[in-house]
A and B are shown apart, each in its own frame.
Chain A
């Protein structure tokens, strides 16, 4: 009851806070409308909202969570290095509390891509055209909250036909000395025929309280362009994540998303919403999560097949341990015009402990009549037959279980095409699975 009251107080306190700091902030004129829309949707969603049924975020917004514009403390190269997140052979964009730090970054060549702070990108044609324009954005509570309160973020535009050879690693660092809500905001535009891979990592530095990161990214994949996005949600103690990525694909484009949640964070909610707006697109979504302790890891994805001849393929896997909870919700909408759609979705879960739980819901809605779709989910334990087979060859039970759980995980990590990313993810997954 107390938390409910406090939740209401968050929603009620917001307009005054907003007026004091945000109403005149920056080039974006839609802040006030976004705040109104957020409040019209009911503010912070309770478990009575269908998409938040198993994920109670209300407690994370209680007490005196700070929503003021964050400061941007100095971070040294040594502190950055110490996160252990840095990948070799990449361009690097380092953000502190949502703000790009050029002196810690190594940008891709300007002939291939424009990279700037979002706060300084207001006059870019791509920003005017795409920012806060995603088809379903009006319905998302936290995207509206983010639009009202965001301080800064990245604007990345890859020039037409540019092939950015090295992946771009984006490192998000968060520093705060009190409970705080961060609202970073990013826009990624990959122009016609271009290709790029973006790898995102996050870490807190010296946090003494839990902070909530309400991050929103809009990604545009233009005609014949290719975009691969990796979310490496590792480390993350005292960070709570609400991530939203709204992706729009145009004709003949390819989009790959990899979301790996291998974290100490007690709460992660990922929203991945992909809209296939033109014909002959290809989309792959791979997810892997390990939830232990009392963690809550929630992945909500949706794919809107709006036009014919598009193919989407989704595979998410999770390992649930201890008293952890996992949530998977995958929606596929095949709209009336989307004939010849191929859409596949699979969610497999290994529930290792009797106290762990997974709520999984694959959802398929088809309004076209000539389509190929499948979806499914499994919840299980390691196979007794496989376990016996390994033990009968002299491998001890604990090691045999370990091999089988890793095998389950590495089926997904094998899809990663950047060797350094695959190595990092497999190493971290091994550590969590050993613990």
Chain B
């Protein structure tokens, strides 16, 4: 589904990603962990198409197409979804109008007619129920005045509505209390199936107790330095990241 090869990226001339290789297949959940500043969120931004990131080398294949050649909206329409670390507040744009616009633009891209009002509302209701999302938030402006937890839940709710093939969750657990974490995780688990995939970016192992990954990767200094199964996350939780840094330093050639 996703095939990242030797991906290099920079922001304002500073190299941030320095050769990422990662393959994600349908049905898989990959966790990406790593210390602050290692490039986790940058990877999410590059994949979603944030324009301040410049790809300097490498390739990303998404469902047989060149992802890096697409605008952010085309990536979304092709089935990529980014759950934001900091969902943006947009006063004056109603949540419901926003979702309707998004759903219909994605449908138009696939040559489908706009959804009928009734069908849209039915879908809205069933997903609200599935995601335990407060219906009162629907009529408010997009994320305006939402608590941190409500914003993250709104992002996951959008994910349920848009039914992406690949969802990238950028530190979705940051700023969530334990109840919100449980609800968000339950939502993700309900959406998991054999045809879609998830990349979960997180600083802590805590989230991975709720969303159990198939693979865990450690990102450090712009590269994936270690990959393993969910046990790796536990090891990281126990030992921190310092032992990895030590290992890597030994591997680096002496300048």
Interface residues of A (CB under 8 A from B): 383-386, 388-397, 399-400, 403-404, 406-411, 414
Contacts and interface: CB of A to CB of B under 8 A. Distances in A.
Contact of A393 (B91, B92, B158): B158
A270 B81 CA distance: 47
B31 interface: no
B73 A397 contact: yes
A411 B91 contact: yes
Contacts of A400: 73
Given A397-B71, A403-B98, A403-B101, A392 B76 contact: yes
A262 to B, nearest CB: 17
6 contacts: A388-B50, A388-B88, A392-B48, A397-B73, A406-B93, A407-B141
Given A391-B49, A392-B82, A407-B90, 4 more contacts: A386-B90, A391-B76, A395-B101, A408-B92
Contacts of B162: 393-394
B90 A391 contact: no
A410 B94 CA distance: 11
B102 interface: yes
Given A388-B50, A403-B98, A393 B76 contact: yes
Contact of A395 (B50, B51, B84, B102): B102
Given A388-B50, A389-B84, A403-B98, A395 B90 contact: no
A430 to B, nearest CB: 13
Shortest Cβ-Cβ A-B pairs, 3 listed: A407-B92, A394-B76, A391-B72
A397 B141 CA distance: 20
Given A385-B88, A399-B101, A403-B98, A392 B72 contact: yes
Given A386-B90, A407-B92, A394 B71 contact: no
Given A388-B50, A390-B98, A393-B158, A411 B77 contact: no
Contacts of B50: 388
A410 to B, nearest CB: 5
B91 A407 contact: yes
A393 B76 CA distance: 6
Nearest to A405: B92
Contacts of A406: 92-93
Interface string B12-54: 0000000000000000000000000000000000001111000
Contacts of B106: 394
Contacts of A392: 48-49, 72-73, 75-76, 81-82, 84
Contact of A394 (B51, B73, B84): B73
A394 B109 contact: yes
Interface of B: 48-51, 71-73, 75-77, 81-82, 84, 87-88, 90-93, 98, 101-102, 105-106, 109, 141, 158, 162
A395 B92 contact: no
B246 to A, nearest CB: 37
B131 to A, nearest CB: 16
A429 B158 CA distance: 29
A391 B75 CA distance: 9
A324 B49 CA distance: 33
Given A391-B71, A403-B93, A403-B98, A396 B105 contact: yes
Contact of B72 (A383, A388, A404): A388
Given A394-B77, A395-B73, A397-B73, A389 B88 contact: yes
Contact of B105 (A386, A389, A395): A395
Dominant secondary structure at the A interface: helix
B172 to A, nearest CB: 14
Nearest to B161: A393
Q: Which residue among B87, B92, B141 has the maximum number of chain A CB atoms within 10 Å of its CB?
A: B92
Contacts of B76: 391-394
Contacts of B72: 388, 391-392
Contacts of B49: 391-392
B105 A388 contact: no
Nearest to B89: A386
A46 to B, nearest CB: 40
B87 A396 contact: no
Contact of B87 (A389, A397, A409): A389
B84 to A, nearest CB: 7
Contacts of A414: 92
A392 B92 CA distance: 19
Contacts of A397: 71, 73
Contacts of B102: 390, 393-395
A390 B88 CA distance: 9
A410 B91 CA distance: 9
Nearest to A400: B73
Contacts of B77: 394
Contacts of A411: 91-92
Contacts of B48: 392
A301 B51 CA distance: 41
A403 B73 CA distance: 15
A386 B88 contact: yes
A300 B106 CA distance: 45
Contacts of A386: 88, 90
B194 to A, nearest CB: 24
B105 A394 contact: yes
Given A393-B102, A394-B102, A407 B93 contact: yes
A406 B98 CA distance: 12
B51 A388 contact: yes
Contact of A396 (B73, B84, B88, B93): B73
A301 to B, nearest CB: 23
Nearest to A403: B93
Contacts of A408: 92
A391 B45 CA distance: 13
Nearest to B45: A388
A19 B221 CA distance: 86
A391 B80 CA distance: 12
Nearest to A410: B92
A396 B105 CA distance: 8
A400 B142 CA distance: 13
Contacts of A393: 76, 98, 102, 158, 162
Nearest to B159: A393
A396 B77 CA distance: 10
